[in-house]
Amino acid sequence: MAAATKAGAGKRPVAMITGAHVGLGKAMTLRLARDGFDIIAADLSTEILSSLDGAAELKDRKLCKIAVDVRNHDSIKKAVATALKEMGQIDVLVNNAGRQLRAFVVDTKWEDYDDVMNINLKGAYFLSAEVARHWLANKLPGNIVNICSTHSFTGVPEGSVYGISKGGLAQMTRMMAIEWATDNIRVNGVAPATVLTPSREILLSDPQRRQKMLERLPQKRFPTPEDIAGAVSYLANPETLAVTGHILPVDAGLLAV
């Protein structure tokens, strides 16, 4: 899917992706580069973003690596300022940075609750606000894609904090979409089921646990990082101008049951 932009003649659109160095973030980064975007790859450090070096998809793209800790407001503001200085524009923001937590409600630690919320929800909120502030001030179109989860809509044991954070992210998507609907700023989300990223491969190394989770999916397969990246590609494309305030499940049919 080719990317189009109002950025100006001869200029490629620019996508900023958080948590870009591995898993879903890396897959989204490479897909958007293949779609024609220049890339702002953001993560906790620029060193870990070396995982993107040498990728064929980035060969003819401008790549800007930026360190950002979405738990810190000053870090967010600095990252956006640096991105705009280096690239001149941000056309699409993908809020992908996130943290899982498996814990029963009564065993959840106060500090872990705060950390999950700060990364998954608060960080995405204030990063979106910082980028949107630039769009609004300059009367520019914008596009935000939030990486939500099927846990935004369903309940599972040991998943309360993560699910609450992702449920909040889904509602944040709707709220921001309505607030900016007449400003030509779109906000949508993607809700993956369990995806076989490197971290999830470790989590599902127990054959019984893996089979139990697989049986919940009507397609009897886990979505891949490329499946999620394809959904982000769809929402990032300006041909979907009338799509805003929606959460697109990529879940092998889980939410249809």
**Tokens for 28?**
């989204």
Around 203, how many Cα atoms within 13 Å sit in the side-chain half-sphere? 12
Tokens 């092998």 correspond to: 252
Q: How far apart are CA 140 and CA 137, in angstroms?
A: 8
Indicate the SS3 state at residue 207.
helix
Strand ranges of the sheet holding 185-192, from the earlier edge strand across to the other edge: 63-67, 38-43, 14-18, 92-95, 142-147, 185-192, 247-250
**DSSP code of 152?**
G
Annotated catalytic residue, options 113, 125, 162, 234 = 162
Indicate the SS3 state at residue 93.
strand
The distance in angstroms from the start CA to the end CA of the chain is: 30
Spatial neighbors of 106 by CB under 8 A, at least 6 apart, are: none
Q: Is residue 162 among the annotated active site residues?
A: yes
Is-contact 57 255, C-beta < 8 A? no
Q: How far apart are CA 217 and CA 215, in angstroms?
A: 5
**Tokens for 20?**
């870009």
Which residue numbers are catalytic? 162
